[in-house]
């Protein structure tokens, strides 16, 4: 497990900024319990600084994971967020979309968010911005990218796509064999 390089840090923070904006500072600048980002193989972990120091006593081949997996780097160098980062994304998200109960199951089965399933959404969501998808009772269900801005979404047909799914909590079941390997 090692710290991220400058280039890796830039790629990770650009992806996180798409979802939480300037709230990245809350992830890093926590005075009571400072956290850091660490890379193990191709996965990026968000871990307490104190625990990361203890992890140095474990050899790299024997260390499987540590902290919360925020995502992984692809072979082409792009960064993909994992569903395991949803807790922090939902806590600090700039833009949110709430879906009605009749739209929860289609979303959790891996489909995009349709206009007919929208209960409410944040104002002034730009096109292609990161959004967190919540149930009407404020339970985080996943995250994605807005297909249309808020104003354009109001004029869509009921079967029009409002947000493209990037990750949902159904992945814990659908991809349980490969999620942590």
For residue range 135-180, list pLDDT tens digits in order: 999 999 999 999 999 999 999 999 999 999 999 998 888 887 776 6
Indicate the pLDDT class of residue 13, thresholds 50, 70 and 90: very high
State both tokens at 42.
Answer: 């191709």
Give 76's contacts (C-beta < 8 A, 6+ positions apart): none
The CATH 3.10.450.220 domain(s) of the chain lie at 2-88
Q: Note the CATH number of domain 95-174.
A: 2.30.130.10
For residue 41, the model assigns a pLDDT of 86
The CATH 2.30.130.10 domain(s) of the chain lie at 95-174
pLDDT > 90: percent of the chain:
69
For residue 52, the model assigns a pLDDT of 86
Q: Note the CATH number of domain 2-88.
A: 3.10.450.220
């Amino acid at each position: 497990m090692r710290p991220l390089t400058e280039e890796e840090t830039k790629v990770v923070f650009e992806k996180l900024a798409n979802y939480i904006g300037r709230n990245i500072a809350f992830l890093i600048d926590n005075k009571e319990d400072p956290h850091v980002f660490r890379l193990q193989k191709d996965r990026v972990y968000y871990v307490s600084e104190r625990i990361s120091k203890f992890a140095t006593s474990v050899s790299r081949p024997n260390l499987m994971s540590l902290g919360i997996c925020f995502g992984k780097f692809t072979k082409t160098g792009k960064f993909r967020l994992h569903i395991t980062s949803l807790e922090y994304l939902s806590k600090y998200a700039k833009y949110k979309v709430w879906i009605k109960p009749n739209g929860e199951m289609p979303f959790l089965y891996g489909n995009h968010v349709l206009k007919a399933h929208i209960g409410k959404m944040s104002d002034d969501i730009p096109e292609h911005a990161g959004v967190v998808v919540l149930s009407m009772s404020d339970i985080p269900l996943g995250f994605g990218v807005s297909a249309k801005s808020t104003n354009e979404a109001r004029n869509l047909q009921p079967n029009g796509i409002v947000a493209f799914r990037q990750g949902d909590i159904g992945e814990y079941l659908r991809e349980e064999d490969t999620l942590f390997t």
